[in-house]
Structure 1
Amino acid sequence: MTGNQTAQGPKHKRDLTRRKVVVAGAGAVAAVGVGGTLAAGAFAGEEKNTASTSAAEVCYKLTSETTEGPYYIDADKLRQDVTEDEEGIALTLRLKVIDSETCKPLKNAAVDIWHCNALGVYSGYEAMGSGGGGGGGGGTPPSGEPTGEPPSGEPTGAPGGGGGVHEEPTDDERYLRGTWKTDKRGEVVFRTVFPGWYQGRCVHIHTKVHVGGEWTDAGYEGGNTCHTGQLFFDEESVLASAEVEPYSTNTATRTTLDEDTIYPDNGTEGGLLKLKYKKNDIAKGVVATLTMGVDPEATNTGT
């Protein structure tokens, strides 16, 4: 997969008029939850998606583009389960990719995800420590609320996984990274763990969407990267995760969603995930869903 390649061939003229879609009540948003049968039962405590697929589709605006961050690896790990041996709260990530202009699903698109582990460490960059900011885990468990003064402006010190130039990998580890293709409904499901945190950034998952390429035995070839974004978690879920091992051993200063310098503060459009888990027992597992509206003709590498 070549994130910096541009689409080949002439581009057709896009219909600049956004189709208006009538949302049939509150259940319409739930109808975009994806991959129910594919991911059902993957983790303890996971519940099947029972939303009706016949409800009206929701036409989302363009999902916000963000920086790629320094820890992207074009590894062509074609897999849905990216967990490997990493410990943490089981997370089923259900994404749906649609054309933001036509509201039609994008099938056979390649979706990348990558994120740090429970202690804030990225595979491929273990020598960087916790998110490149130094340190790892261990020590006195956090009390839940962030410690120290909130960051003002851009994070200081070593890259925090949200900005900065690309860093070359320091090792061959590739846990919590993977690529999979969307089905005919534009849906893709990943199995991973709830991310941890590191100094300078809130809890997040990186993602890319590639279109116009070909699926081969070697991976996904060609095409263009039409979306580079980040997926975010609300503060309530992060506080709940901080009470569970191994997150409870992570002593890195935690940045809240409101304090983060990358999160665009615009809810679902900005990548804020819809989460479902058993209250007071997040350790049983979390299901996260989001519909991403992208422009398949655009090039957004985030670099």
Structure 2
Amino acid sequence: MVAFSRFLGLTLLAGAAVGHPGSSDEGSMSYKQRRAFRTRARRSLNACSDTLHQDQTLKRAAVSRAELFQRHNKRGLTRRDTPTVLATDHSVQVDASVLENPESLDTALFQTETACIVMPEGEIGPFWVKGEHIRDDLIDDEAGVPVYLHAQFIDVNTCKPIPDLYWDVWNANSTGVYSGVQSSMNGNPSDAANLENAALRGIQKTDEDGIASFKTLFPGHYGGRCVHVHIVAHLNAELLPNNTLTGGSVPHIGQFFFDQGLVDEVEKVAPYKDNTAIVTTNAQDHVVNYETADSNSDPFFHYTLLGDTVEEGILAWITVGVDATLDHEAQCGAEVGEDGGKMCEITGNFGIPGGFGPPGGGFPPGGPGAPGRNILPRDEQ
């Protein structure tokens, strides 16, 4: 059998920080604590090699990704230190021979997998919205490049997939602004209507194989940060009648990234090309360097295009190792209640190491939160 570290490209994911103002140099964990967890978690997931292969856990994830690809493919038949991570090409090519034999898609494409060992504490950033709805299509009326995100969550202690984990995801829109918050750090600070906007935010529950997926849009950039996707993992949470969560634990907070080449291609097309914020590359990004330095961390999605161009869509996938015994404080930037959205009282610094400029873009005319636009309330989505 191929060694687990070769077959999976075993890596470490050191939580995720965000480029918004903060004061802590190390976040809520010391550097020594982070390094110790990396070593312990890497050993734990390495020890899972035989189990993950013998019980077909990884195979089932590959089949799931192949099915997702087939549903959305638009192609015809014609077609681990920081420097190492940044130089890695995470793209997966699809050629005619694969398309002619769709039953082989899972083997041909989706078993070249990256397993990420997460840090016990990541930086959540100031724009997590507490109380978002369970849903898998996050686009609403936003414009941009469609992305299908697919993840499998593995418990590093048991070597088993984690069912019934709620994957909470959010990212900025094409202009670099987050929905659901009203803040001087986020687009137009006078736009109170943005509190009622839920675009590019949502939660999904993992199945018996620890798998969940979303349809969303490729993130836009803003000053001081490279393109990224935020996640929070919830365990043992209660699903309320209004399709939101309460209670439970938070074993993981983090961020994922995309290859710079893919980002550059997306930035060439509308509406991303109209974003005038200064571009920060992966190599320049403090978070990427902080989370991958002196480690085997590779928190980047593998991906394949669903057509001949990025505009036709992207399938991106990743495997995440989680210590399900952990529970972290998730500081919300805003929350949704019976009376709609409101900003949270800030009690911490979001665990941000250092700081960068806030999102400086805005929603395009007629976009979410713009004057005159009818925003669909969360309870009607």
Give the TM-score normalised by structure 2: 0.58
CA distance in 2, matches of 1:281, 1:109: 33
> What residue number does 1:100 align with?
156
Change (3 A) 1:239 1:212: same
CA distance in 1, matches of 2:220, 2:112: 33
Change (3 A) 1:29 1:183: closer
Larger Rg: 2
RMSD (Å), alpha carbons = 3.7
Change (3 A) 1:268 1:172: farther
The reply on whether 1:173 has 2:203 as its aligned counterpart is no
Deviation at 1:97, TM superposition (A): 0.7
- 1:226·1:301 contact (CA, 8 Å) conserved in 2? no
Q: Which has the higher mean CA deviation after the structures are superposed, 208-217 or 183-192?
A: 208-217
> What residue number does 2:175 align with?
119
- Where do 4+ consecutive residues of structure 1 move more than 6 Å? 28-31, 46-49, 55-59
Aligned partner of residue 118 in structure 2, secondary structure: coil
- 1:32·1:58 contact (CA, 8 Å) conserved in 2? no
Aligned partner of residue 62 in structure 1, secondary structure: strand
The reply on whether 1:285 has 2:313 as its aligned counterpart is yes
Deviation at 1:215, TM superposition (A): 2.7
Question: 1:38-85 CA distances to partner (integer Å, 9 max, x unpaired)?
Answer: 5753475598892149x9998945224421000010133110000101
Aligned partner of residue 183 in structure 1, secondary structure: coil
Change (3 A) 1:73 1:113: same
The reply on whether 1:37 has 2:64 as its aligned counterpart is no
Change (3 A) 1:270 1:226: farther
Unaligned runs of 5+ in 1: 1-14, 137-167
The reply on whether 1:257 has 2:282 as its aligned counterpart is yes
For residue 236 of structure 2, the aligned residue among 190, 212, 216 is 212
Change (3 A) 1:179 1:169: farther
Give the length in aligned residue pairs.
Answer: 252
Equivalent positions of 1:262-273 (< 5 A) are 262-263=287-288, 264-265=291-292, 269-273=297-301
For residue 50 of structure 1, the aligned residue among 79, 93, 105 is 105
For residue 226 of structure 1, the aligned residue among 248, 251, 276 is 251
Specify which structure has the higher proportion of helix. Answer: 2
% identity of equivalent residues:
28
The reply on whether 1:199 has 2:223 as its aligned counterpart is yes
Change (3 A) 1:43 1:278: closer
CA distance in 2, matches of 1:83, 1:268: 33
CA distance in 1, matches of 2:112, 2:324: 19
For residue 71 of structure 1, the aligned residue among 103, 112, 127 is 127
Unaligned runs of 5+ in 2: 1-40, 76-93, 331-349, 351-381
- 1:202·1:260 contact (CA, 8 Å) conserved in 2? yes
